[in-house]
Amino acid sequence: MTSLPLSEAFIAETNARDMEALEEDYAALGRQLGRRGIAIDAIRDRVADFSVAVPSWGAGRGGTRFAKFPIPGEPTNIHEKLEDCAVVNQLCRITPRVSLHFPWDKVSDYSGLREEAESLGLGFDAVNSNTFQDQPGQPLSYSTGSLSATDAAIRAQAVAHNIECIDIGRQLGSNDLTVWVGDGTNFPGQQDLARSLDRYIEAAAEIYAALPDDWRMLIEHKMFEPAFYSSVISDWGSSILAAQELGPKAKCLVDLGHHAPNTNIEQIVARLHRFGKLGGFHFNDSKYGDDDLDSGSINPHQLFLVFNELVEAELNPRDEFRPSYMIDQSHNVTDPIESMLSSAEAITGSFARAWLVEREALHEAQAANDTMMAFQALRRAYNIDVAPILAKARVEAGGAIDVLAAYRASRWRERKAQERKPVGLGAGIV
């Protein structure tokens, strides 16, 4: 039985006032696209099939290493986080899965948690391990590394934690394990750069061996932070080499914020797909060196170009094309529900625009070396306001036309501020 946090009648009521305008805008856009030979309903259907997972840790206010500024009514445990994720999904209808992080989201009864999520209309996405922090009572510290640590006992502890995550994930119905380690160095000479990668791959192989048949291990690279001189899996090169050595179930996960500024991420996407190693994405945006800003808030064009490569990949499947999509952001100054709603909209908008590219015209221009027309094929699609398509797909799935207006009208956060216990101060998350 489902017990959704917002009533269907409330969503329908908030939609009523905007419905006529939406129908008009959708019809006008349909005529405009029709002149280019694009059927708007086919794009709407693709949008309706699209989904992106939300991270449990994104439901609370994040912070920097300097401070965290909680808001009244934010969730303080996994149950409240699931409730907030259900609100997001009810309004936008494209975030039906939540990605959990362990041990942050540890509970004593995982089948109970799965039922609880189901009753909120949610399922579970990849499980994420955490060997980048020490936990209370943990026998050995990760201060000198985890899967690449020089001490075999530390590596064994990190491997055991990942295997425990797989076990939890099986109970939750997940089938991907995302592994990001904070291992690296802050000083030249601190560790042997080649041997630390050897140790990482050897330990990762033990985790890989414990994967069920239909599971994948998603390897997430990050250029820097928390280590600032070198990271053991610093870039897509280290990631794909490790994934190739581990085997077919190991794939690479691209977190958009984990690269040097100005890196051509869309080309990385094309490369990983070319070798059958594109496993998934963590969406966010970045201006300098962070991985925390809201998707599409800084460089929406890059997001569009990434999706353009994903469409090319889907049309030319190599090995398999099953990328897992997740939002991975730190909501430091906004209501996390609003950031997830706005980000889901930006991500889906880029997806829709990428499907609006007139592929034949693009490929013809590329083959003829007509640079300007090839660029214009992308530009024409990027310039289209796809909001009516997204809203139409949402409404037909029971969501809200204007997600933010509906959320504010629900007074969800104010109501939760009366019920939930206040969050403590402290620093943020990685």
- The site for Mn ion (CB under 5 A) is made up of 255, 282, 328
Contact 127, 102 (CB under 8 A): yes
Q: How far is the CB of 102 from Mn ion (least distance, A)?
A: 15
Long-range contacts of 167-170, Cβ-Cβ distance < 8 Å, separation of 24 or more: 168/100, 168/102, 168/110, 168/127, 169/124, 169/126, 169/127, 169/215, 170/212
Angle at 214 between CA 54 and CA 269, to 5 degrees: 55
Q: How far is the CB of 378 from Mn ion (least distance, A)?
A: 27
Which of 80/328 has CB closer to ligand PSV? 328
**Among 22, 158, 11, which Cα is nearest to 86's?**
11
CB of 328 to ligand PSV, least distance (A): 5
Residue 183 makes contact with ligand PSV by CB under 6 A: no
For residues 211 and 202, the answer to whether their CB atoms sit within 8 Å is no
Close Cβ partners of 309 (under 8 Å, ≥ 6 residues apart): 266, 267, 269, 270, 273
Closer of 61 and 282 to Mn ion (Cβ): 282
Minimal distance, residue 22 CB to ligand PSV, in Å? 36
Choice between 216 and 416, CB closer to ligand PSV: 216
Contact 125, 326 (CB under 8 A): yes
- For the CB of residue 162, give the shortest distance to ligand PSV in the complex, in Å: 12
For residue 59 the two structure tokens come to 């439901």
Q: Which of ligand PSV, Mn ion, none is residue 397 near (CB under 5 to 8 Å by kind)? A: none
Distance (Å, whole) CA 278 – CA 264? 16
- Nearest partner of 246 among 210, 272, 222, 281, judged by Cα: 210
Is 289 an interacting residue with respect to ligand PSV (CB under 6 A)? no
Task: Assess 251 for contact with ligand PSV (CB under 6 A).
Answer: no
* Residues in contact with ligand PSV, shown as a per-residue x/- string from 196 to 225 under the rule CB under 6 A: ------------------------x-x---
14 vs 239 by CB, closer to ligand PSV: 239
Binding mask 297-336 for ligand PSV (x = CB under 6 A): -------------------------------x--------
Nearer of residues 55 and 399 to Mn ion, judged by Cβ: 55
- Binding flag, residue 180, ligand PSV (CB under 6 A): yes
Size of the site for ligand PSV (CB under 6 A): 11
Nearest-approach distance from CB 113 to ligand PSV, in angstroms? 19
Beta strands per DSSP E along 59-190? 97-102, 123-129, 176-179, 184-185
Q: Which two tokens stand for residue 56?
A: 């449990």
List beta partners, residue 230: 185
The residues binding ligand PSV (CB under 6 A) are: 57, 128, 180, 220, 222, 255, 282, 291, 328, 429-430
